[in-house]
Structure 1
Amino acid sequence: MSFRLAAYAVCVEDGRVLLGRHVSARHGSNWTLPGGRVEHAEDPFDTVVREVAEETGCEAVVERLLGADSRVVPAAERPAPGLPEHQNVGIFYEVRITGGELRPEPGGGIVESVWTPPAEVARLRRSSLVDVGLALARTRPATGRVPPVPVGGLIRH
């Protein structure tokens, strides 16, 4: 089994959420929250600030920890044959943008970042982590956990 620890930014301002459109040869186009893999010896708190800057061009400050999500992607649902089962543990933070301008990620997979009304999110092909992050921000559970988001249709791993 492969494993990934990641940190994600949930940024809701003026009734809109910040999303990035990730494009890859294997996965096609998919909307996601700014965020990514925690580097070796890096604090997830620092990861989320770094990832927002890298992927969107914006500066962010962490307002609060929202929660965590752990999911296992079966080998049969991985994007290429022969890949092992994969566990992704995501830590979600509420962030506020303090500066910068939206732009594509230089040399990366995020080709655009946009402010999107939450009502429009349901019509987008997106990562399940978008729904997890929005649910955490909306409900603010004391446990830091929301029910798993089923994948299928427009929702991907």
Structure 2
Amino acid sequence: MDLRLAAYAVCIEDGRVLLARHVPPEGEPHWTLPGGRVEHAEDPVDAVIREVAEETGLEAVVECLLGVDSRVVPAAERRLPGRPELHNVGVFYRVRVTGGRLRPEPNGETVESVFTPIHEVARVGRSSLVDIGLTLARTAPPTGHVAPVPVGGLIQH
């Protein structure tokens, strides 16, 4: 089993959430939250700020920890054929934009970032991470954990 620790930004302004259009080398393009892998010896707070800047061009600060999601992606559902199942541990933070300008990720897989009205999110192809982050932001569960999001239709791993 592969293990991945990642940090994700939930940035909500005026009823809109910041989404990043991810176009992986393999698989379907989809919308996701800005964020990604925590590098060796990197603090997840530093990782989420770095990822927001890299993927969107925006500067941000962490306002609070929203929660942690732990899920296993079966080997058959991974975008990389031949890889074992993936245990993804995602740390979700509420962030606030403090500067910068939206732009695509230079030489990366994020081709566009936009503030999307929250009521429109259900109509776009997206990662389950989007639903997890929005649920954490909306409900603020005391445990910092939400029920697994079913994958299928417009929602993918």
> Normalising to structure 2: TM-score of the pair?
0.98
**Structure 1: how far apart are the matches of 2:79 and 2:112?**
22
Aligned to 2:79: 79
Matched pairs, number: 157
User: What residue number does 1:118 align with?
Assistant: 118
Between the aligned partners of 2:85 and 2:123, the Cα distance in structure 1 is 28
The yes-or-no answer on 1:89 pairing with 2:89 is yes
Aligned equivalents of 1:24, 1:38: Cα separation in 2? 18
Distance 1:4 1:81 in 2: 17
Distance (whole Å) between structure 2 residues aligned to residue 73 and residue 28 of structure 1: 16
RMSD: 0.7
- 2:44 maps to what in 1? 44
| C-alpha deviation, 1:119, in angstroms | 0.8
Q: Which runs of 5 or more structure 1 residues have no equivalent in the other structure?
A: none
Structure 2 residue matching 1:42: 3-state secondary structure: coil
Query: Could you say which residue in structure 2 is the equivalent of 1:57?
Result: 57
Distance 2:91 2:81 in 1: 28
Q: 1:48 to 1:80 in 2, by over 3 A?
A: closer
**Structure 2: stretches of 5+ with no match in the other structure:** none
TM-score (norm 1): 0.98
What percent identity do the matched residue pairs reach?
A: 74
Moved over 4 A (4+): none
Supply the AA of the counterpart residue of 1:29: P
